[in-house]
A and B are shown apart, each in its own frame.
Chain A
Amino acid sequence: MSASPRLADPVLSVDHLTMRFGGLVAVNDLSFRVGRGDITGLIGPNGAGKTTVFNCITGFYKPTEGMMTLRHRDGAEYLLERLPGFQVNRRARVARTFQNIRLFTGMTVLENLLVAQHNPLMLASGYTLAGLVGLPGFRRAQGAAVEKAVAWLTRINLLHRADDPAGDLPYGDQRRLEIARAMCTDPVLLCLDEPAAGLNPRESAQLNDLLRSIRDDDDTSVLLIEHDMSVVMEISDHVVVLDYGTKIADGTPAEVQSDQSVIAAYLGVEDEEVEAVEAEVGV
């Protein structure tokens, strides 16, 4: 068995996931697992349905069919397709980033990280009432939240820009800030939609280090969509390949790289093969 041993204890199991938009089948009977403590890469050519899978997992789409089970370490199980959108993050603790960065551009870097800690802070502020009169319990919670934000800013090298508006940051910093913001919600599963898009090789290497440290130090499993193969093949423990909404390969990076159907999906097939198939079906 060459697959990651951690697949025996998956943090997320996706079973028979199907998503139809009218007549278009974006995802077709997809099943895969995300091992606890793994970095799992989800790859495939453009239009393969990767982002649709992400939107189903993170509660933005309700899948047409299928089941997505998220398991916490303490044994709690959540059926993601049944949770209302915001509860996927709040209760099941799945965080995500977006392909086109969605920071709160008019708020400072620090504020962005505090918004991510909204739910624990709301509780500490007694749903605003205790906070309004300024009880000490809320002040402590707010202080702790700022400390956590500062710790994350130190990790992503943005502490010196804490009071600048997020919209003023350069692109690479915005990508890292979005990951830090997602991490501030204490997720068990972090879903990253093309985190390396638009990064230069140096920033891309920094990102690899950050993702590895998230996997190793934070008890957070990572599921990422990525086109940059240098990122996927280097840091993934397990890779799932999609094409036309169907899974065509699933295994370690080395296995996937040598898989014939993956090569065919990415590079196409020889002309003779096409002719042979056409002759078979009688076109």
Chain B
Amino acid sequence: MSAPAPALAAAPAARPALDLQAILKDALLFALVTFGLCVPVVAYRTDLSSTSALDLTPRWGLVAILCGLVFLARLAQRLILASRDARRALTPSPRQATEAVDATPNAAQSVSRFGLPLFLGVALTFPLLAALGTGGLSESRYWIDLGILILTYVMLGWGLNIVVGLAGLLDLGYVAFYAVGAYSYALLSTTFGLSFWICLPLAGLFAALWGMILGFPVLRLRGDYLAIVTLAFGEIIRLVLINWSDFSGGAAGISSIPRITFFGLPFTADEDGFAASLGIPFSPMHRVVFLYYLILVLALITNLVTLRLRRLPIGRAWEALREDEIACRSLGINTTNTKLTAFALGAMFGGFAGSFFAVRQSFVSPESFNFLESAIILAIVVLGGMGSQIGVAIAAVAMVGGPELLRNLDFLKPVFGEHFDPNEYRLLLFGLAMVVMMIWRPRGLISERSPSVVLKERKAISGSLVKEGHG
């Protein structure tokens, strides 16, 4: 009867062995392909010689270095993946188990436990931290401006997350609503002299209205068709703003838009200015810090409303719509109205962000609302993980803050030479980051979905079960 025991004991030792030969072969193949690509592109450089003829400068050393780098990178990738697979084969997946397995906290849980308070704390004290870090409020202007920029994109990402992440409607023209909000404030304040605090809700309402106007004819389309039409809508708004000069000032835009006031107190050095009223010395930084906290509050409102809506029937209907539109219809849900509310609400938050943009810049022009903006906002939502609020915030910091970091890499100049400008590599790195994300986390940084209502125990829902929506 003791015969099976050795077999059982041997079982764990039978872990899949690393197939080194295959991995080496694969890496060599990669190096060979790189070599093939390098020969026509890198191997010879054409220089103008002193006699103004073309000289060929061979650069076989560089080719060898590139091939070697690709070989090593592929080798490392395969080895890491192989050891990960071997590890996974030994630990049962909680999803396949029939009884309870000790599940390690997943990405969403661990991020929200430590990340959330940290994130909020940094966001709330950011101007102070920046001032301390740079040694003075005026010196920290660059950092606070960057913070404002990032928070604007966080807010736009959260607004678009309602449309794309929750309702599953692919909207490539979100920047149109941002433009509607910005021009609403610009026109209302320069024409009628209305203050920002009146224009802010109005801008949101106008954007929501345009969301509905676009929504009615468009929402019977699905998937690719919806994406194309929203893309066209975004372009139409921009072209109208460029060409309708009497209304919008054309390509020159609208300048000298009134600046933000502290609920009526202007940020000026005058007698009735903000600083004089409080009896503190005037500093132009007061306005910047106020703008920072304004966009922080706006973004947090967007977040809180979205989180609240998710728990209400309307939010659940959005997510159901993303999962299966036909089933929704069979359950008596008016799918057109449900999509329309998602579109209008998403547009409204875009409008708020737009009017903030206008008051901050005190200048708007159609150039600010091109397709690239829409693409960046959509990339933030997709990279963050569709539907995940914290994921979108992290993605916004990375997407907007990352390129700014490149400007500060001057210390690399001694390494790469005096002509090295890291900013030129921005799009290259951006593309590289996208490819890495596609391999590492195809469903976004945080792909787990947290249920909107819980009976006994909150369990995160694996991203592989959650659908992305199709229209």
- Report A's interface with B, CB cutoff 8 A: 58-60, 85-90, 95-96, 98, 102-108, 110-111, 114-119, 121-122, 125, 128, 131-132, 142, 146, 150, 162-165, 167-168, 181-182, 185
Contact = CB atoms under 8 A, between A and B. Distances in A.
Contacts of A165: 459, 461-462, 465
Nearest to B324: A102
A283 B347 CA distance: 68
A125 B313 contact: yes
B313 A131 contact: yes
B217 to A, nearest CB: 17
Nearest to B467: A106
Given A86-B328, A103-B327, A107-B449, 4 more contacts: A115-B317, A115-B333, A119-B332, A128-B341
Nearest to A159: B455
Given A104-B323, A107-B319, A114-B453, A86 B465 contact: no
B189 interface: no
B78 interface: no
Given A114-B453, A119-B333, A164-B459, A104 B317 contact: no
B316 A128 contact: no
Given A114-B453, A132-B309, A106 B461 contact: yes
Contact of B461 (A90, A107, A117, A162): A107
A163 B451 contact: yes
B137 to A, nearest CB: 38
24 contacts: A98-B326, A98-B327, A98-B330, A102-B324, A102-B326, A103-B324, A104-B319, A105-B466, A107-B451, A107-B461, A108-B461, A114-B313, A114-B453, A115-B317, A115-B331, A118-B331, A118-B333, A122-B317, A131-B313, A132-B308, A163-B455, A168-B95, A185-B331, A185-B332
Given A104-B323, A128-B314, A118 B465 contact: no
A118 B332 contact: yes
Interface of B: 95, 305, 308-309, 312-314, 316-317, 319-320, 323-324, 326-335, 341, 449, 451-459, 461-462, 465-467
B332 A115 contact: no
B95 to A, nearest CB: 7
B312 A114 contact: no
A232 to B, nearest CB: 23
A104 B314 contact: no
Contacts of B331: 89, 95, 115-116, 118, 181-182, 185
Minimum-distance CB pairs A-B, first 4 = A106-B466, A89-B332, A90-B332, A104-B323
Contact of B467 (A95, A105, A111, A162): A105
A11 B280 CA distance: 79
A125 B312 contact: yes
A102 B452 contact: no
Contacts of A164: 459
A118 B317 contact: yes
B320 A107 contact: yes
B324 to A, nearest CB: 5
Given A89-B332, A115-B320, A132 B312 contact: yes
Contacts of A105: 323, 465-467
Contact of A115 (B309, B328, B459, B461): B328
B462 A118 contact: no
B327 A104 contact: yes
Contacts of A96: 330
A164 to B, nearest CB: 7
Contacts of B334: 86, 90
B453 A110 contact: yes
A89 B330 contact: yes
Contacts of A59: 329
A197 to B, nearest CB: 17
A106 B308 contact: no
B461 to A, nearest CB: 5
A4 B305 CA distance: 55
B77 to A, nearest CB: 30
A104 B316 CA distance: 11
A122 B462 contact: no
The interface centre, meaning the residue of B329, B332, B341 with most chain A CB atoms within 10 A of its CB, is B332
Nearest to A108: B451
A106 B330 contact: no
Nearest to B331: A116
A89 B326 CA distance: 12
Nearest to B459: A163
B312 A128 contact: yes
Nearest to B326: A102
Nearest to B316: A115
B313 A122 contact: yes
A128 B311 CA distance: 10
Contact of A146 (B305, B455, B457): B455
Contacts of B329: 59-60, 85-86, 89
B333 A121 contact: no
The interface centre, meaning the residue of A85, A107, A142 with most chain B CB atoms within 10 A of its CB, is A107
